[in-house]
Amino acid sequence: MKPNCLPTIVIALAAPAQADWALNLPVGVTSISRSAYDLHMLALWICVGIGIVVFGTMAWSIVRHRKSRGAAASTFHENTRLEIAWTIAPLLILVAMAVPATEALVAMHDTRAADLTIKVTGQQWRWRYDYVDSGVGFFSSLDQRSGEASKRGAAVSPQAVDNYLLSVDTPLVVPVGKKIRFLTTATDVIHSWWVPDLGVKKDAIPGFVNEMWARIDEPGTYRGQCTELCGVGHAYMPIVLVAMEDADFQAWLKDMQDKQAREAAGADRLWSREELYAQGEQVYARVCVPCHQASGLGMPGIFPALKDSPVVKGSMATHIDRVMNGKPGTAMAAFATQLTDAEIAGVITYERNAWGNRMGDLVQPAEVKLARK
């Protein structure tokens, strides 16, 4: 052992464990989660009862009929009553479990008469939420502080970040007491949307739409994760759901509609380089940093550097096309449907003027809008 390894080992042993010591499923805050919990406990206690009977009988037989007491083993070939008993008993147990399980499964798949429909789209490596009936839609990505702490040699320690890898920049917001229908799909690979406290988990599959629903009883913040191994950024797809009273939800929804209307209107005006640079810096930190790094140097052999990049320092048309349409066969995703015209214009302007690239040029949102046609 190297001498300098000892302090690290001592610190590791002295540090408190970070694991969750919970020994059971969460009860949850929906009728679905409570049904799942009740079924789990029913099966558990049935298994406990069977174990007590079986092992109790074995222990009693071993003690009562041991050789030292002079017990002699008897032989018999068939016992009709015993065979009937051990056939009927498991059947009754299975029926007792099947009836509530069937009722719960039927209820889980009944998405009719929903008060709100939300489309959930998985995309490497973030979630897109669209409120189908209101026109509100946004991406939810890993929060910047968790992203910074996850990098090797980062100045921020993961232990110093609250809800490390379980926080996002924009959470999903829903009302309590309303039946919410979730439609899950994906644009690239299979993802899986899972929030333990809601008792719901459904795969998001490209070209296919799955359904599930939940009615949340208690206001609060509930966290989950993608549970399908979807690539190198799988750990960076947390889910944060905020449940609030209906009046507060309606106010939030109105604010989001107004915000997106302002963003749409802003794409038609001329922006200054400073405005675009500031907008692009925020978008880059939220969307691009996990791959290309805050320094713009990328990850050698995995993600290319943007500093002195021939694309970034090349023609504007090529740069716009790369950001909007990605690069087939690589991890570079298409952001045409993920970002607004102003966000794309901002991030391109930022990349062409950051890290010493100093191109001095900019692209207006109107040019991005024209490139979509």
> Are 226 and 284 members of one domain?
no
105 lies in a domain?
yes
Q: What is the mean pLDDT of residues 277-286?
A: 88
> Are 285 and 234 members of one domain?
no
Domain C-terminal end among 239, 264, 289: 264
User: What total number of domains does the chain contain?
Assistant: 3
CATH number at residue 233: 2.60.40.420
Q: Which residues make Cβ contacts (< 8 Å) with residue 7, sequence separation at least 6?
A: none
Position 37 scores a pLDDT of 93
DSSP code per residue over 199-252: TEEEEE-BT--EEEEEEB-S-EEEEEEE-S--STTGGG-EEEEEEE-HHHHHHH
The better pLDDT of the pair 78, 177 is held by 177
Q: Are strands 191-195 and 220-226 parallel, antiparallel or unpaired?
A: antiparallel
> Are 91 and 210 members of one domain?
no
**Confidence check: pLDDT of 186 > 80:** yes
The better pLDDT of the pair 333, 12 is held by 333
> Are 256 and 193 members of one domain?
yes
**Average pLDDT of the chain to the nearest whole number:** 87
66 lies in a domain?
no
Q: Which residues make Cβ contacts (< 8 Å) with residue 102, sequence separation at least 6?
A: none
The two tokens of residue 148 are 């910074």
The better pLDDT of the pair 364, 11 is held by 364
The two tokens of residue 257 are 């509609």
> Are 172 and 272 members of one domain?
no
302 lies in a domain?
yes
Position 330 scores a pLDDT of 81
Name the band, by pLDDT with cuts 50, 70 and 90, for residue 20.
low
Q: What is the CA radius of gyration of the chain?
A: 28
> Are 146 and 254 members of one domain?
yes
Q: How far apart (Å, rounded) are the C-alpha atoms in residues 44 and 241?
A: 30
> Are 292 and 218 members of one domain?
no
> Are 188 and 207 members of one domain?
yes
- Chain segment 284-338, per-residue pLDDT in tens: 887 888 788 888 998 888 889 999 999 999 999 999 999 998 888 787 888 888 7
Q: Is the pTM of this model over 0.75?
A: yes
Task: Give CA angle at 290 (328, 281), nearest 5°.
Answer: 100
> Are 187 and 294 members of one domain?
no
> Are 228 and 296 members of one domain?
no
**Confidence check: pLDDT of 4 > 90:** no
**Confidence check: pLDDT of 8 > 80:** no
> Are 127 and 210 members of one domain?
yes
Q: What is the mean pLDDT of residues 65-91?
A: 84
Domain boundaries, position 334 = 267-371
Residue spans of beta strands (DSSP E) within the chain: 116-123, 126-131, 136-140, 172-175, 179-186, 191-195, 200-204, 210-215, 220-226, 238-244
> Are 291 and 353 members of one domain?
yes
3-state helix, strand, coil in the chain (%, to 5): 45, 20, 40
Cβ(197)–Cβ(218) under 8 Å? no
